[in-house]
Chains A and B, each alone.
Chain A
């Protein structure tokens, strides 16, 4: 008689088992989820309470130019004597809200068009999808650059340009989901009970499409942050003296040997994007009925 047991617990699993308040649904108990959630939460808090915690005003110039990191200026100072640490914290207040805004708007525009295309089909579908194809045919960043350049450099215009290139992705995905669902038995059953097409779309199809679209959106936050930072890096987004990570890195190119000018904003972008990517992966695993619950599988005995 042999005994085969599950592999030995990881330390984090042991911690979760002993501390009841960490008892989350299975998909959330991975190291990936915890790290992602912690970092993302940290950045959100920084964005919210920035002015209360930054040691210097991010816009205040001083005479201490291009100083290396020290006890006084943790991340050093830039070419105008501004404290880099405070500017990095301030950058969160720009990037995070705008990235979220961009994702929400792209999702609303793209998903609505995609749902209509998928549900009504025929010429409505053709029209919307050809427009989508047209926009998607352009390389994302180049199109965003063109639009931003045409509108003039400002954060608002950068968001607008990014919106124009981001909505087609949601449109395609939502259309696919809606196509799969619109012939589901329960949708048909309600049509037989007198549901008109708009009611059917609103009550039967969309609620079951929201989950995957939200996952896509959460995975997209990182991309949105990168896109906005990229536009700012190219001078098409944030205008000086706004502290924004992309423009900070752009400025750092001039003073390449002063490594702290570019590395810290760069790390900020990397950690933020990674954190939201981890969160997005976790959300996807949590919502995927196959991975979310192993017990669900056991029902198929």
Chain B
């Protein structure tokens, strides 16, 4: 399937309230194939909710307004049945915790083929072949044997790769990755980050990378948007946002990171940050 040109998803003025509390206050964002869009922010900024909103996975009693345009279709206001056809087939998601994002009692092969057969309506043999190819492309060793094994028999990093394989099995154009490497060891994380970058480059996948870790952003994101309290306060190419941030909040996020531009490189630097209590408001 050839990748479309131009933005594949455009989010305009997305506002979400949950049980009366305003979580997102007007988000504008777009994803382009072959590019990784980073969405950064601290806990409570609304970045995870943005990802969930695209897939229609918000909790009950949420109100959504604005538009999420997926090459012509507005995802806001679709019925659950219509969203089911989109999820996994055109837009997919990978979550943070690999130990709970896979079904513990189904073999890896079953999880992959169920998914493929539901969306692509192919025969069992074709689905199996496709599943093995997916496992190979995420570099799971011995994919044929892996099909019969269960999630608990794989390491955390491998489980995350399997989750990515399942997410991409039906060739969606868009992948939303919510803190995909936060729960992984740093050496394992490096492998998964390289995989995500390769998928974007080679498959033309459009990726929304949600994470609080600006180091991860810096490694693979092409563009970075910084969220705070339900709004995007700064957005732009990675090099601009992380090296010459325009907004104070972005600067404050970078200020406490070792190795970042304007970041800390010694204990004295950290102490200088901690006092006086910063303008953002009190000790975090």
**Are chains A and B touching directly in their complex (CB below 8 angstroms)?**
yes
Question: Which of B17-25, B262-270, B275-283 binds A?
Answer: B17-25
A288 to chain B, nearest CB (A): 14
Q: A1-B67, A6-B61 are in contact. Are A26 and B19 (CB under 8 A)?
A: yes
B7 to chain A, nearest CB (A): 17
A301–B43 touching, CB < 8 Å: yes
B 1-35 to A, binary, CB cutoff 8 A, 1 in contact else 0: 00000000000110000111101000000000000
B76–A2 touching, CB < 8 Å: yes
B48–A3 touching, CB < 8 Å: no
Q: In B42-60, which residues have CB < 8 Å from any A CB?
A: 43-49, 59-60
Residues of B within 8 A of A1 (CB): 12-13, 65-67
Q: In A256-301, which residues have CB < 8 Å from any B CB?
A: 293-295, 297-301
Q: In B180-214, which residues have CB < 8 Å from any A CB?
A: none
- Whether A254 is near chain B, meaning CB under 8 Å from some CB there, is no
A4 to chain B, nearest CB (A): 4
- Which of B18, B43, B45, B47 sits near A295, CB closer than 8 Å? B18
- Whether B64 is near chain A, meaning CB under 8 Å from some CB there, is yes
- Which of A2, A26, A294 sits near B67, CB closer than 8 Å? A2
B-side interface residues, number (CB < 8 Å): 26
A298–B45 touching, CB < 8 Å: no
A60 to chain B, nearest CB (A): 55
- Whether B74 is near chain A, meaning CB under 8 Å from some CB there, is yes
Residues of A within 8 A of B21 (CB): 295, 298
B194 to chain A, nearest CB (A): 28
A294–B77 touching, CB < 8 Å: no
- Which of A2, A3, A5, A295 sits near B19, CB closer than 8 Å? A295
Q: A3-B65, A294-B59 are in contact. Are A301 and B19 (CB under 8 A)?
A: no
A298–B19 touching, CB < 8 Å: yes
Number of contact residues on A: which range applies?
10 to 19
Residues of A within 8 A of B23 (CB): 298, 301
Q: Closest residue of chain A to B60, judged by CB?
A: A294
B44–A6 touching, CB < 8 Å: no
A301–B77 touching, CB < 8 Å: no
Q: A294-B61, A301-B47 are in contact. Are A4 and B77 (CB under 8 A)?
A: yes
Question: In the complex, A293→B21 CA distance in Å?
Answer: 12
A297–B59 touching, CB < 8 Å: yes
Residues of B within 8 A of A300 (CB): 43, 48
B61–A301 touching, CB < 8 Å: no
A 1-35 to B, binary, CB cutoff 8 A, 1 in contact else 0: 11111100000000000000000001000000000
- Whether B126 is near chain A, meaning CB under 8 Å from some CB there, is no
Question: In the complex, A26→B61 CA distance in Å?
Answer: 11
Q: In A100-128, which residues have CB < 8 Å from any B CB?
A: none
- Whether B155 is near chain A, meaning CB under 8 Å from some CB there, is no
- Which of A2, A295, A298 sits near B74, CB closer than 8 Å? A2
Residues of A within 8 A of B61 (CB): 6, 294
Q: Closest residue of chain B to A297, judged by CB?
A: B59
- Whether B71 is near chain A, meaning CB under 8 Å from some CB there, is no
Q: A298-B18, A301-B23 are in contact. Are A6 and B67 (CB under 8 A)?
A: no
Question: In the complex, A6→B66 CA distance in Å?
Answer: 15
- Which of A4, A295, A299 sits near B63, CB closer than 8 Å? A4
Q: In B227-263, which residues have CB < 8 Å from any A CB?
A: none
B83 to chain A, nearest CB (A): 11
Residues of B within 8 A of A26 (CB): 19
Residues of A within 8 A of B47 (CB): 301
B64–A4 touching, CB < 8 Å: yes
A294–B18 touching, CB < 8 Å: yes
A2–B18 touching, CB < 8 Å: no
Q: Closest residue of chain A to B44, judged by CB?
A: A301
Question: In the complex, A294→B59 CA distance in Å?
Answer: 7
Q: Closest residue of chain A to B74, judged by CB?
A: A2
Question: In the complex, A1→B67 CA distance in Å?
Answer: 5
Q: Closest residue of chain B to A290, judged by CB?
A: B59
Q: List 10 A-B contacts (CB under 8 A).
A: A1-B12, A3-B76, A4-B63, A4-B77, A295-B18, A295-B20, A295-B21, A297-B59, A300-B43, A301-B46
Please provide the 7 A-B residue pairs with the shortest distance between their CB atoms, ordered closest to farther: A4-B77, A294-B19, A2-B77, A298-B18, A301-B49, A301-B46, A297-B59
Residues of chain A touching chain B, judged by Cβ–Cβ distance below 8 Å, are 1-6, 26, 293-295, 297-301
Residues of chain B touching chain A, judged by Cβ–Cβ distance below 8 Å, are 12-13, 18-21, 23, 43-49, 59-67, 74, 76-77
